[in-house]
Amino acid sequence: MARLPRFDLPWIPQHIVQRGNNRQVCFAAEIDYWQYLLELREASIKHRCAIHAYVLMTNHVHLLVTPEEAGGVSRMMQAIGRRYVGCFNARYRRTGTLWEGRFGSALVDSDYYLLRCYRYIDLNPIRAHMTASPGEYRWSSYRCNADGRSEPILTPHPEHQASGRSDVERTAAYAAFVRECTDPAEHDSLRLTTQQQRAWGSERAKSQIEARTLRPLRVRPQGRPPHTQQLLR
């Protein structure tokens, strides 16, 4: 069966996850991280996608992106894939694929959910037990979003901008927000939504997107469906 096209609407943020094939390493040395960020910045400008948050883990990547036009995210990711994988393969004298099939994506409702997606991304190194605090991890957007360090690749989302009257207030508010206790169910919800390429948001937002796309957005329950005989019992 042919795969359905992605939910991909202009000006609606998307949470993107791309993993290494068979969970293999995608960043083997510092130069690889810098190379990816360079390709990400150039491709995001060319394809008119605003990058709000990111984290580069050893074998996968998370991004929060808002495209200005439909298809912009896919074109951006394809451009990064071609250039980064070519450089990675040449550097390590390897051939073949690096990434695991299509990247995962989920639309993200700006109301309530947007900053939680920021936080989910910036806390990845903590959940992976790589650092004790998000500011210690070098390859994420946290130090820009929470500490105010300049990073040209990033464009603050309006929800982030609205959290304070100045850059100092906004970064302090975000740092405090990240320090709040988070609900593991929230992480699981965003992870499953991204795997199924749906939308993470309120029922009202989902209904509006369904009306625009004429496609269902509800996340399917995990696991195999009950056997027909079991249903008849």
Token pair for 129? 């037990």
Token pair for 155? 């464009």
What's the CATH number for 14-213?
3.30.70.1290
Residue 206 near residue 106 (C-beta atoms within 8 A) = no
Mean pLDDT in consecutive groups of 10 residues from the start of the chain, 233 residues: 69 95 94 97 97 97 96 95 94 92 90 93 95 95 94 94 93 95 88 88 82 73 50 36
Q: How far is CA 18 from CA 72, 99, 148, 196, 198, in A?
A: 16, 7, 27, 14, 16
- CB contact set of 73 (below 8 Å; sequence gap of 6+): 8, 14, 16, 47, 49, 65, 67, 105
Rounded to 5 degrees, φ, ψ at 149 are -70, 140
pLDDT of residue 7: 77
Residue 215 near residue 196 (C-beta atoms within 8 A) = no
Token pair for 197? 């390429």
Query: Can you tell me the distance from the alpha carbon of 48 to that of 102, in angstroms, rounded to the nearest whole number?
Result: 20
pLDDT of residue 227: 47
Q: Is the dihedral of CA 163, 169, 171, 173 positive or negative?
A: negative
pLDDT of residue 198: 87
pLDDT of residue 113: 93
Strands 199-200 and 49-56: unpaired
pLDDT of residue 228: 39
DSSP-assigned states of every residue in 64-106 = EEEESSTTHHHHHHHHHHHHHHHHHHHHHT--S--B-SSPEEE
For residue 17, the surrounding DSSP H or E stretch is strand 14-19
Query: Can you tell me the distance from the alpha carbon of 23 to that of 184, in angstroms, rounded to the nearest whole number?
Result: 23
